[in-house]
Each structure stands twice: as C-alpha cells, then as structure tokens.
Amino acid sequence: MNWDSPENSFLVRRAAVLGAPWAPLTSREYAPALGLVLPSDLARELGSYLAAIPDGVRDDDELIRAFCYERGVPLVAAVPHLLDHGDSPSVAGNDFHGLRRGVVLGPEAPLPAEYWLGARGMVHRLEVANEFRECLDVAVMFAASSALLRFPRAGKEEPHFHPFGWYWQDWCGLLGVNAGEIRAAAERFLGTAAAGPATGGAGPWQRVALEFWAACWLLGFDAGGKAGTGGETAASRHRNALVRAALASWLEAGLGAGDRSLDRAARSALVDVGTAAVRAGLRRGHG
C-alpha cells in the first residue's frame, strides 16, 4: 500500500494504531496489486478477467478493485506489509507518482505466527468479517506539511486521487472535537524540554510539529472511537513499533518541499511528537 494513498493509507495506519494485523480497505481506491493473494478459484477467474483487457490498459490495480468489488470480495492489507516498491524505477511507468513506499514495513525480526491470527474481533469491528462494506467516513491526510481532513461521500463520482482536503482547524468540529483542544494539547507537549530537536531550525520544526501533532491526534481519536475493550493480543504487543513505523512513513510522505531540509534528528523528534499525539487522541476517542 502506497504511503500517501488518499484513503487506504489512513486505514492501514488506523489498523496499526488499533493493533490489528489486517486493515480493511475502501472500495473507492485501487487495489494494492504489488502483492495479491486470492483463493485459487478466484485467482483463476481474475486471470481470465484480466486476459480479456487490452494490453494498452495500464491501470490493472483499478481493474482488480472492480473485480473484487463486483464479487463482494473484501480487500485487506497486511499490517505490516510484506512487500514494498523500494526506490527502483517503476516497471509500470508510474515514476511520475514519485516515491511509492509502503505505509508500514515489517520489523527486522520475523513476527510470530500468532500475530497474524490475533485480533479477529478487531478486524470484525473494522467491517471486513462477513461482507464487503464501506469502512471509512473520514480520512486524515498529512500533505505539504499540513494536516487535512477528507470526507469521502459514498456513491458520489468523486475522483479519489484528487489532492484536496479541508484544513483541520476549520473542519474538525464535524468530528466532535474542538481545534483549540488539539492546539492546547500540542502546546503543552511541545513546551516540554524533551519535545524539540537537538539541532537548529526550531521555527520551521515547531510549525511542522503542530501540524503533525494534529494529524496524529486525529488519527488516534478516530481509532479510539473504534477500539474495543479486549485484552492484549500478539498483535497489540507489537503495536508501538508498528505505529512508529506508520508515523515515520506518514511524515516522510507528507513533508512539504520547504521542510525537506529538516535533518534526521529533527524528523525523529517529529515522530516522537506524533507518537505522543496518537496516544492523546486515543484517550480522547475512548472517552
């Protein structure tokens, strides 16, 4: 799953925050076709379906999405991902999209088998157990170093790859939260001695930190409203590392051109900010 896809990347990050090993995906976006696993009969049917498409049609991921949607086959992404595009040129001619790294890449140590078998109740709550349903009413974006909200409208012919969102401070009230509450929490955290980078550039860093805090707080808030009360699972025990990986990729994908000069220490400090913001948003969402 590409780290900056408009809606599915948010769903993967939300699953990571919830400690779920699988993330149900929306039907509005392309299927992640870099690695796809289907039951053998469906795989053969998909092969026949794609064989009838002219070779000049490039968007096989959109065709796979349509195939699955028409047959009621839910699309889910593994959290963490098992594959990544890497930095090599695209064999499909998609270099104009820029880097297409994964949302959550796996830890160096292999995950135990029970990790993938856990959190079945959580996946059910994320609406993927029995039938294909929409599972997204808002997506939080971090783009051009700003936190934005995206409100998908079911049944509308809205191009899903448009880059536009609504600025969080103006529209977060629709989610039942006040922008002042989020800003105040950010200012309390950013005012602590350990919250800033050890290197220079504090002005730009503080600006990005507030926006990244808002994006991550809203991610946590949304996840908190969907979390259950079950005990610890094999998946939840790996949650902290996977959440940090998900936030690091979000930051790298969403930094504006003018903020690319932030060094490694400054970026690591921003991920610390995001991690704290997710925890704060989760607590608020649970409440």
| CA 240/CA 238 separation, integer angstroms | 6
- Which has more pLDDT, 64 or 89? 64
Split at pLDDT 50, 70, 90, the class of 130 is very low
- Cβ neighbours of residue 68 under 8 Å, at least 6 residues apart? 31, 74, 75, 132
Q: What mean pLDDT value characterizes the chain?
A: 83
Structure tokens at 258: 């003018």
CA distance 116 to 112: 8
Alpha carbon of 195 to those of 34, 249, 266: distances in Å?
38, 20, 10
**Measured CA angle at 210 (ends 215, 226), to 5 deg:** 25
Query: Could you tell me which of 222, 272, 269 has the C-alpha nearest to residue 243?
Result: 272
CA 83 → CA 33, 46, 70, 97, 235, distances in Å?
A: 10, 21, 26, 18, 19
Strand 146-150's sheet: what is its strand order?
139-143, 146-150, 166-167
Tell me the residue type at 184.
A
The tokens describing 93, both together, are 């001619």
- For the chain, give every domain's residue range: 8-286
Residue 91 confidence (pLDDT) above 70: no
pTM of the entire predicted model: 0.87
* Helix, coil or strand: residue 155: coil
Q: For 32-84, how does the pLDDT look when each residue is reduced to its tens digit (9 = 90+)? A: 888 899 999 999 999 999 999 998 887 888 899 999 989 988 888 999 998 87
